[in-house]
Amino acid sequence: MWKWLHPYAKTERAYQLCQRLLPWFTLSGLVLIVVGAIWALAFSPADYQQGDSYRIFHIHVPSAILSKSLYMGMASAAFVGLVWQIKTSFMSMVAFAPVGAAITFISLITGAAWGKPMWGTWWEWDARMTSQLVLLFLFLGVMALYKAFDDKEQGSKAAAVMAIVGIINLPIIHYSVEWWNTLHQGATLLKLEKPSMPVEMLLPFLVSLFGWSFCCVSIVLLRIQNEIISRELKRPWVIALANQQVKNSS
Amino acid sequence: MWVNQLSITKRDRVLFDNLTFSVDAGQLLYIKGPNGAGKTSLLRVLAGLSAANSGDVIMNSTNMSSSEASPSHTPSVSNTVYFGHKLGINSMLSPVENLQFWCQCSEITVTKNQIYDVLAKLSLVGLEDVPVSNLSAGQQRRTALARFWLQPNASLWIMDEPFTALDVEGVSVLSEHIHQFLCKGGAVIMTSHQSLDIAYPTTELQLEYRH
Amino acid sequence: MSGLIALFKRDLSVAFQQRSELMQPILFFVLVVSLFPLGVGPESAILQKMGPGVIWVAAILSSLLGMERLFKDDFQDGSLEQIILSGMSLPAVALIKVLVHWLTSIFPLILLSPLWALFLYLSEPMYWALVWTLLLGTPILSLIGAIAVGLTVGLNKGGVLLALLLLPMFIPVLIFATAAVESASLDLAYNGQLAIIGAMFLFSLALAPFAIAYALRVSQT
């Protein structure tokens, strides 16, 4: 199984793979987001309880789901990098972190915007919002640790250790926050249970979920390429690539 | 010790690639090169402190450092004594306490008197029980160099600039000690900006500064 | 083994010679705790309600302050290099260093805890719950904290970075510890929360030394 993965430990091959995958993810991601947004905003019915304000759900929920997936992705890349000492794996880990932080931030902002009409307040110490906030801090911690090192290789190893400590801690943090929340607020707060969604609402949601996922993948791919280039500026293949680009554009 | 196709990158600058050489018993390898050429980085990899980007360091037929090996694995290096830029001496403790601690860590049994003898050879008489922070730079380095007298089973010494800050007498004591070690079949890898004054055949390895 | 014992003794004696520096986080703790009554007013009901949280937050902050020094001296003077090269098991070394650090810079906080109980009007069951949570919970802070300290030891900008890395990780300990004291204040059983903190302690005791050892190795490159 590792045979087909192994060549991508080489930075040049990994760069080419990103290059090949990039247009597909970008194109399909953008199309799906546009379709999903139009569908969700204009065509799907309003919620009988929440009115039109529920429509932010089509951004909020995908970003909440993706934030955790991106952390998972980052930690998996970190794990692969630490165990098999694969350079490109560390680079992908570094590429994941800011995307994850941005998506987590989006989920917090949209959550607050949704909370205002629903709960009457911008911020509620709700279990899910609190653990999203902690997730944002975890992303920021990994990024800050990486940036603190001059030597990028050493920095990415350190950040990888922290990402793995984070992924072990994440479920513990999540459940402790949930438990803390029920302990302190009980049933006083109207909890938004997940009602069974009608198909007209589910379909545009799925479309935007996939659109957002593909877009995130394409941004991560771009960032991986960027990371590879910036670390290997002086390698012959990068210089050859740059020369070719110059030739093509002139 | 056999070094095969070693490459080290630091701060995203390639220090050297595909460096291959070997060091045998009774050999003195003298690594030369300008500042920043990677002498210290090379020594740290040879000592097993840091990992190379690629290549192997094979010592007594065990591979100490390869890019594949997990960095959490500590290679057995009890027959190597390393002397680096950082002395490895705690300034709160006295020379004797420091050396006793080092010997206990390395599982060397020495008596206090042996340590006093070694310190006397390095002309640190009367300073054995003073906190190291009260010693001069040269005296602190002598304290750290005392390790080369205390490890009887060593087969390899790795010395990064051992002569810096030593006075004439200190240099001659250390050169003499290195000479004896080589004659007994020990191997020495060292860097120095001073010219070597050891009457022993020297192998030189020149590293270039690369941009 | 004799090397580890020597390390334990050496670290203790070095710590003893730096006792004035070791006192600083403890003084910081006292100050933070005594600022709260000045900030929120001296009513005993409010202080009692806030007490466990205040004490635990202050304990986390002061442990962060003291933690920075955990590997710093040994890294800077090169002792760490020699320890790594000595062939001693690095996770065991890490465990010993964390143990000494906990004994010298956090255990005194627990010894002084009757004072906090007086400052914040804690009842007797609350006090005992607090002592138990501190005894079981603060080693978790030290163990997890040491990973981040090991990673950042080579940088000269530890402080705030360490807080950013570690404070989110300490949330579960904070939640369960303060919940235990709160249960005690209502005369409820709090062994459930203590058991969870104990489980987290054992878990970090089992895994953290290896992560710390890896972190120390990374710091050497």
Q: pLDDT, tens digit, for every residue of C73-85? A: 899 999 999 999 8
From A132, A112, A123, A115, select the one nearest A174 (Cα to Cα): A132
Interface contact flag, A151 B68, Cβ < 8 Å: no
Contact C184, C117 (CB under 8 A): no
Q: What is the pLDDT of residue A79?
A: 94
Give chain C's contact residues with A (Cβ, < 8 Å). 144, 147-148, 151-152, 154-155, 157, 161, 164-165, 167-169, 171-172, 175-176, 179, 200, 207, 211, 214-215, 218, 221
Query: In chain C, how long is the greatest CA-to-CA distance?
Result: 58
Rounded Cα gap, residues A23 and A93, in angstroms: 21
Q: Binning pLDDT at 50, 70 and 90, where does residue B78 land?
A: low
Radius of gyration of chain C (CA): 18
Amino acid at A132: Q
- Report which DSSP code applies to A41: I
Q: What is the pLDDT of residue A214?
A: 95
Chains touching A (at least 3 CB pairs under 8 A) are: B, C
Chains touching C (at least 3 CB pairs under 8 A) are: A, B
Which residues in chain A come in under a pLDDT of 70? Answer: 1-7, 48-49, 184-197
Contact B33, B11 (CB under 8 A): no
Q: What is the pLDDT of residue A48?
A: 67
Q: What is the pLDDT of residue C96?
A: 96
Q: State the best of C72, C81, C100 to mutate against chain B, taking most chain B CBs within 10 Å.
A: C81
pLDDT tens digits, one per residue of B4-28 = 888 887 776 778 888 888 888 888 9
Q: What is the pLDDT of residue B71?
A: 44
| Closest chain C CA to residue A171 | C172
Q: What is the pLDDT of residue A4?
A: 61
Contact A76, A96 (CB under 8 A): no
Contact C77, B86 (CB under 8 A): yes
Rounded Cα gap, residues C74 and C91, in angstroms: 16
Chains touching B (at least 3 CB pairs under 8 A) are: A, C
Q: State the best of C171, C190, C201 to mutate against chain A, taking most chain A CBs within 10 Å.
A: C171
Which residues in chain C come in under a pLDDT of 50? Answer: none
Prediction pTM value: 0.89
Across-strand partners of B19?
A: B6
Q: What is the pLDDT of residue A141?
A: 94
Q: What is the pLDDT of residue C147?
A: 95
Rounded Cα gap, residues A158 and A142, in angstroms: 9
Q: What is the pLDDT of residue A120?
A: 81
Cβ atoms < 10 Å from Cβ of A17: 16
Interface contact flag, C155 A165, Cβ < 8 Å: no
- Check CB contact of A85 with chain B, cutoff 8 Å: yes
Q: What is the pLDDT of residue A197?
A: 67
Q: How far is CA B16 from the centre of its chain?
A: 21
Cα–Cα separations (whole angstroms), residue B193 to B145, B177, C182: 18, 19, 66
Res B57 pLDDT > 90:
no
- Sheet strands (E) in C63-207: none
Q: What is the pLDDT of residue C3?
A: 87
pLDDT tens digits, one per residue of B118-142 = 999 888 888 888 999 999 988 999 9
Which among C172, C211, C218 has CB closest to A157?
C218
Interface contact flag, B49 C6, Cβ < 8 Å: no
Q: What is the pLDDT of residue A73?
A: 95
Res B68 pLDDT > 70:
no
Chain A residues 130-159 within an 8 A CB cutoff of chain B: 150-153
| Closest chain C CA to residue B74 | C87
Q: What is the pLDDT of residue A93?
A: 94
Q: How far is CA A227 from the centre of its chain?
A: 17
CA torsion sign for C86, A157, A148, B52 is positive
Average pLDDT, chain B: 83
Residues of B in contact with A227 (CB under 8 A): none
- Check CB contact of C43 with chain B, cutoff 8 Å: no
Contacts of the segment B192-201: beta carbons below 8 A, 24+ positions apart: B192/B30, B192/B161, B192/B162, B192/B163, B193/B161, B193/B164, B194/B163, B196/B30, B197/B171, B197/B172, B198/B28, B200/B28, B201/B28
